Structure 1
Amino acid sequence: MCNPTTKGIAVVTGASTGMGAVYADRLAKRGYDLVLVARNEGRLKQVASRIWEETRREVTVLPADLNNPADLAKVETLLKTNEAITMLVNNAGVGSVASVLQADVATVDAMIDLNIKALTRLTYAVAPAFAARKNGTIVNIASVVGIAAEMLNGVYSASKSYVISLGHSLQKDLADKGVRVQTVLPGATATEFWDVAGYAAQKTASITMSAEDAVDAALVGLDKGELVTIPGLHDGDAWERWEADRRALSKKFGNAKPADRYEVKSPQAA
């Protein structure tokens, strides 16, 4: 599948539209061949055709509903067995703006399956293969609402907090294995995400970034070696301070005795 000048194969999920389609375009122009994954085969073929015409990179279309166990297993098998794969972009995801009083629990459950379960299974499929070859890149798309949890639906925000936490753990586990892990936290981005989430007006709001700008910034962040990339955060040092405070705080949790403010008397003191 790869031609002699390729950087390998990049697998992009959610590649039929939005940031996924932009990632496919940009990675092809960077010299990657592609496997594009999404439910909508017709749209995937349109993206693939356009990329082939512009870049002459090899593009394989893999229609799959990642909420379907058989389809998910198909993509997992590809990631485990195709040694030409050098990058996974876990972009597929869905969101909501509905509160717990409005949201349908079945819809929320499907969101968890896609945003957390599918992303985790694909990551776990490819990480050992990358580690064995001591080469590979995993890009997981989170969101700023993984930090700003009150902004949208709580389960959506929590699913993106999960992606951020998973990224930290993966970076620890894979740092010495030759595997790069980047977590990308876009803010509001002008994609069909908002149509599905139930707030299409956000696509044209003044704070909303284009998908092209979001992906281009994320790829520059990858080039710079950023572990976490937040395209819309202009003060990059703010994230570094946040991370330093978080890591410092995490060292203060290991105490056998409750804090004095809780006025808990141990049996020995009674």
Structure 2
Amino acid sequence: MTPSTSSARPAVLITGASAGIGAAYAERFARRGHDLVLVARDQQRLDASAARLRETCRVQVDVLRADLTQAADLAAVEARLRDDARIGILVNNAGAPQAGGILQQTAEGIDQLVALNTTALTRLAAVAAARFAAAGQGAIVNIGSILGLWPEFGVSIYAATKAYVQLLSQGLNLELAPKGVYVQAVLPAGTRTEIWGRAGVDISTMPDLMDVGELVDAALVGFDRREAVTIPPLADAGHWAALEAARQALLADLHQAHAADRYRGA
């Protein structure tokens, strides 16, 4: 490990950091001068990425091999977040895809997908939130997906986990902002990563995928602006504003004491 010149900047812990979006975040934050803690299952890839970033960016890079669906591994990452006061940014990127529809799923596969996409992400966010709030500063980035807005796509379990990530992030941002902690939900569309292959999809049949570097660069613009929700492919921000306005109007129209007239007297 080389001496770091980035002590004034918070270190960044990134899950799913050995490839794809996580690897791009690692490179971008290293270029900004942040020390890193890289978390993933593939030790060889982690070591290679760490060596390259130490050499090219002159930052400290620690690696922590962990399968976040395993209780002991998840606890080890929680302990690192809890105990390492250098870490001031958490990027919750690790996630699993869904291959096939609900009829093709197994109980074990569902457990693994939900454990990684929701349970591990929530537990790491909770640990980070507690320490960041006590310090009065910090940031949590949760990687969701536009599929959390898109039940028609046909991967209902995966989409539901990403809808969870979005709502959790928005709620945490409201809860933690007064304590100096920023929470960002990033909602990518189709991005050129290995996740497609793991879902059994031939990436060559999908020409309209965003480059992972372009995605992360856009997400970091939203991060610097302190957006609560960043949707890199969204051309018209007014559509998101309209959706949020419609949601608030719907909430204002909920009268809890009685069923709506349209459900009464049928």
Q: Fold-level match, TM-score > 0.5?
A: yes
Shift of 1:253: 1.8
List aligned pairs for 1:1-270, cutoff 5 A: 3=5, 5-201=7-203, 205-264=206-265
Flag structure 2 segments of 5+ consecutive residues without an equivalent: none
> In the TM superposition, what whole-angstrom CA distance separates every residue of 1:39-83 from its partner, at most 9, and x where no partner exists?
000001111111111101100010001011000000001111111
Q: Give CA deviations for 1:86-139 in whole Å, capped at 9, x if unaligned.
A: 100000001114111112221121000000000000001110100010110000
Q: Determine the C-alpha separation between the residues in 2 that align with 1:78 and 1:123.
A: 13
**CA RMSD, Structure 1 to Structure 2 (Å):** 1.5
Please list every run of 5 or more consecutive structure 1 residues that lacks an aligned counterpart in the other structure: 266-270
Equivalent pairs, count:
264
Whose helix fraction is larger, Structure 1's or Structure 2's? 2
| SS of corresponding position for 1:176 | helix
In structure 2, do the counterparts of structure 1 residues 161 and 254 end up closer, same or farther at CA, with 3 Å as the change threshold? Answer: same
Compute the displacement of 1:248 (Å). 2.1
- Give the Cα–Cα distance (whole angstroms) in 2 for the partners of residues 227 and 168 of structure 1: 6
CA contact (8 A) 2:6 2:33 kept: no
Which shifted more, 176-185 or 206-215? 206-215
Q: Residue 154 of structure 1: CA displacement?
A: 0.7
Which amino acid is 1:48 matched to? A
Amino acid at match of 1:101: L
Q: Could you tell me whether the CA contact under 8 Å between 1:191 and 1:211 is conserved in 2?
A: yes
Amino acid at match of 1:72: L
SS for the counterpart of 2:14 is: strand
| Secondary structure at 1:94 match in 2 | coil
Structure 1 residue identity aligned to 2:162: K
SS in 2 for 1:172: helix
> What is the alpha-carbon distance in structure 2 between the residues aligned to residue 2 and residue 81 of structure 1?
20
User: Shift of residue 262 of structure 1?
Assistant: 1.3
State the TM-score, normalizing by the size of structure 2.
0.95
AA aligned to 1:74 is A
1:268 aligns with none
Q: Residues 209-229 of structure 1, C-alpha deviation per residue, up to 9 Å, x if partnerless?
A: 011111010001111221100
